Chain A
């Protein structure tokens, strides 16, 4: 299990693995926003938490198809399926590796990009906390979507269509928590809901992903 995790992380951080790509995409989204809505500080500060959440979500989405694609092509996914490691565990490890290589860097980069969007000082802690709580759910849900579309030639667009509706609750509670934090309101309720969604998806979705992956490997 540990070996699989290390191997996946090495693959993910290697060139072309999408490690830098997701971060670069996040940066570009944040840079483009002021061009779209105008440079006024007040307006940017108002929408900063939402934009940062959206950017993180899209950057996460961008790297999803890499979770299984390489393993599918060279056949190591079949090896995983026949190994003594249960498929559920393999899927969870893959989601964890995806989070460590994509979600965690996004969480760490978010405060820097917050400066660009003139996020109010009170907003940093809730933003980082909400992203740290929410991005694992994004990775786990994304792994499910990637498992669904693993055998398809051009699954990328379909993957987004399948995964984005599933991201809605996470996005709502995550962005709401960051926004309320930035505006100095109490944000315990969305925080608890977000944590609940993350725990729930981590606990249950690997079973669905593993079932789907088995079907695809049949």
Chain B
């Protein structure tokens, strides 16, 4: 019976992802290049924002992935807690640095965009502040992984931290909202067609988002493989020392 849980076997996971990785990476590269080149060279300027509107093709996808990476870590942590599959815990560990990088990209592009548009690099706007807090959560999560030597203990502790952190990150979002009214515009994307950005900006943005998602998946696969191998090597070396 084929089920998704068979990929919880590390060997099976490595074999399968090895087969997919070249395709996935190529696809990620193509859609990133298409999305960004389309956005950079072939979109008109916005009548109010001028050419800075082109930053949207980096800012929105990276912000999206910064949150989704944390959600993925949350799901992976839950799977680890409930079903104790090592691959799941290691995938959560592998995703954290990617999410942190995405957060930095979102913050930096936002700051560069905000300088000419809002006249300031940084404002204590709810969205900006929540992202900074999210970044702190990523840092703490990664630091905890790095600090603990025993793999299983580290996996347990970080997954509980991820769970508790998610609740507090959500709480912070609302607290920050309450604390200060924002400059940041509403969501750029929504299912409601009326509220979307104009089509000329929208299509390359979708391609760019697809590119970021594919890149994220490819990187998670690659880094999870690395983590699996690192873990296996530690186990082998430990066994060797015992003999």
Contacts and interface: CB of A to CB of B under 8 A. Distances in A.
Interface of B is mostly: helix
Contacts, number: 75
B55 interface: no
A122 to B, nearest CB: 21
A158 B172 contact: no
A168 B172 contact: yes
Nearest to A194: B175
A155 B133 contact: no
Centre residue among A149, A166, A173, A211 by max chain B CB count within 10 A: A166
Interface in A170-218: 172-173, 176, 189-190, 193, 197, 205, 208, 211-212, 215-216, 218
B140 A216 contact: no
Contacts of B157: 148, 212, 215-216
Contacts of B172: 165, 168-169, 172
A166 B156 CA distance: 19
B161 interface: yes
Contacts of A189: 178
Contact of A176 (B147, B156, B179): B179
A172 B133 contact: no
B211 interface: no
Contacts of B165: 165-166
A161 B137 CA distance: 8
Interface size class of A (residues with CB under 8 A): 20 to 34
Contact of A169 (B137, B140, B153, B175): B175
Contacts of A205: 164
Contact of B143 (A151, A161, A176, A208): A161
B148 interface: yes
B198 interface: no
B144 A165 contact: no
Interface string A141-172: 00010001101100100100110111011001
B175 A172 contact: yes
B147 A165 contact: no
Interface string A39-77: 000000000000000000000000000000000000000
Nearest to A196: B171
Contact of A148 (B161, B171, B174): B161
A161 B133 CA distance: 11
A166 B178 contact: no
B176 interface: yes
Contacts of B148: 151-152
Given A148-B144, A152-B147, A165 B168 contact: yes
B175 A165 contact: no
Interface of A: 144, 148-149, 151-152, 155, 158, 161-162, 164-166, 168-169, 172-173, 176, 189-190, 193, 197, 205, 208, 211-212, 215-216, 218
29 contacts: A148-B160, A149-B144, A152-B147, A158-B144, A161-B140, A161-B143, A162-B140, A162-B143, A162-B161, A165-B165, A165-B172, A166-B168, A168-B176, A169-B168, A169-B171, A169-B172, A172-B176, A172-B179, A173-B175, A193-B175, A193-B178, A197-B171, A205-B164, A208-B163, A208-B164, A211-B160, A212-B156, A215-B157, A218-B153
Given A148-B161, A162-B161, A165-B169, 6 more contacts: A152-B147, A164-B136, A172-B178, A173-B178, A197-B171, A205-B164
Interface of B: 133, 136-137, 139-140, 143-144, 147-148, 153, 156-157, 160-161, 163-165, 168-169, 171-172, 174-176, 178-179
